[in-house]
């Protein structure tokens, strides 16, 4: 198979992949404006009328607005803590040589191989014994712990590609290790930081298992968005309010879609920069 044929095949596969990704989003968006009868018809037909009451029902009756606020709070502090601790750990492990360096690094990396659901029961009791069950604080700490392995793994590889001469020049100018990291090396790692931040935002925003265990039913006011949508789904099954469910799904998708569209260039730059040194 020649280069031209491979190019055509790659374009066909990309087109198929685009359809696979876009079709569910389009169905969800159209469904948010349809009634129950229309929803069970052709999913790609346009709604007979724009039923904004589905959005109002999702926002007010189903309290999607409250769930979005809870998710925003948890994800903000979770990602901030993850990036602060993860970047510092990755920098030390990548740039400093000391006894136990590789062991600590591999302990972080091993966290990538550990399925979340295997730790749910012991994690529940640990958080409960700390008095943080049913609180956003407990969920934020767990988010940070589960996001650190990927963050350290990704950033450590990137920090290794940064020039050593820049750090040495900063030390010669009288900078401390902390100042060199925060004012010199961290800005140089901006593409990688943006990429990892976006991945962590997406992962924490869409997390369902951990909030389900750590924010039980009696803490409904603290539920995050995936829990809220799940509750709407249950209600929709009993009351047939499918339009509100699709509206809630659309509301949940839009913020992450906007974030990705805005930062897509930075994400691509962070994934590719450092590949060639």
- Residues 247-260: tens digit of each pLDDT: 888 888 888 888 77
pLDDT band at 275, cuts 50/70/90?
A: very low
Whether 251 and 55 have beta carbons less than 8 Å apart is answered as: yes
pLDDT of 252? 85
Task: Specify the DSSP element, H or E, that contains 110.
Answer: helix 101-110
Take residue 243 and report the two structure tokens written for it: 């339009």
CATH number at residue 109: 1.10.3720.10
In a domain, 239, yes or no: yes
Q: Is the dihedral of CA 134, 136, 138, 140 positive or negative?
A: positive
Tell me the pLDDT tens digit for each residue of 154-213. Answer: 999 889 888 888 888 888 888 888 888 898 899 888 888 988 998 899 899 989 889 999
Task: Give the global pTM.
Answer: 0.83
- Cβ atoms of 78 and 212 within 8 Å: the answer is no
Please give the structure tokens belonging to residue 70. Answer: 């809870």
Contact 64, 254 (CB under 8 A): no
Give the domain range for residue 216. Answer: 31-272
pLDDT at residue 274 tops 70: no
Assess if residue 174 is contained within a domain: yes
Burial 5-27 (b: 16+ CB within 10 A, else e): eeeeeeeeeeeeeeeeeeeeeee
Task: Give the CA dihedral 43, 47, 52, 55, nearest 10 degrees.
Answer: 0
Q: How many angstroms separate the CA atoms of 151 and 137, rounded?
A: 20
Residue 5 domain-assigned (yes or no): no
pLDDT tens-digit profile of 11-36?
A: 899 999 989 988 888 888 888 888 87
Q: In this predicted structure, what is the pLDDT of residue 143? A: 96
Instruction: Kindly indicate the confidence band of residue 136, based on its pLDDT and cuts at 50, 70 and 90.
Output: very high
How confident is the model over 219-223, as a mean pLDDT? 84
Residue environment code for 187-200, b if the CB has 16+ CB neighbours within 10 A, otherwise e: ebbebbbbbbbbbb
pLDDT over 70 (residue 272) = no
How confident is residue 267, by pLDDT bands cut at 50, 70 and 90?
low
Q: Which residue has the higher pLDDT, 241 or 221?
A: 221
The answer to whether the beta carbons of residues 269 and 192 sit under 8 Å apart is no
Looking at the structure of the chain, the number of domains it has is 1
> Mind listing the pLDDT tens digit for each residue in 68-105?
999 999 999 999 999 999 999 999 999 998 899 999 99
Q: Is residue 16 part of a domain?
A: no
DSSP assignment of 138-185, as one string?
A: HHHHHHHHHHHHHHHHHHHHHHTTS-HHHHHHHHHTT--HHHIIIIII
Count other Cβ atoms within 10 Å, centred on residue 48: 11
């Amino acid at each position: 198979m020649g280069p031209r044929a491979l190019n055509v095949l790659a374009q066909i596969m990309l087109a198929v992949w685009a359809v696979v990704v876009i079709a569910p989003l389009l169905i969800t968006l159209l469904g948010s404006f349809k009634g129950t009868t229309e929803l069970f018809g052709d999913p790609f037909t346009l709604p007979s009328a724009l039923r904004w009451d589905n959005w109002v029902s999702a926002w007010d009756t189903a309290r999607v607005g409250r769930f979005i606020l809870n998710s925003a709070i948890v994800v903000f502090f979770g990602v901030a803590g993850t990036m602060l601790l993860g970047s510092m750990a990755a920098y030390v492990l990548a740039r400093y040589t000391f006894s136990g360096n590789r062991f600590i690094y591999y302990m972080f990396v091993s966290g990538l191989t550990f399925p979340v659901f295997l730790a749910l029961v012991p994690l529940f009791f640990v958080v409960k014994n700390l008095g943080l069950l049913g609180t956003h604080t407990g969920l934020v700490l767990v988010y940070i712990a589960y996001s650190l392995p990927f963050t350290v793994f990704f950033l450590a590889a990137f920090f290794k590609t940064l020039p050593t001469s820049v750090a040495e020049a900063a030390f010669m100018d009288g900078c401390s290790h902390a100042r060199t990291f925060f004012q010199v090396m961290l800005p140089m790692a901006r593409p990688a930081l943006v990429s990892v931040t976006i991945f962590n935002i997406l992962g924490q925003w869409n997390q369902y298992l951990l909030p389900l265990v750590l924010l039980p039913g009696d803490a409904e006011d603290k539920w995050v968005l995936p829990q809220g949508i799940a509750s709407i789904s249950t209600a929709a099954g009993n009351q047939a309010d499918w339009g509100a469910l699709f509206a809630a799904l659309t509301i949940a998708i839009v913020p992450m879609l906007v974030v990705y569209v805005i930062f897509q260039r930075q994400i691509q730059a962070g994934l590719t920069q450092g590949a060639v040194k």
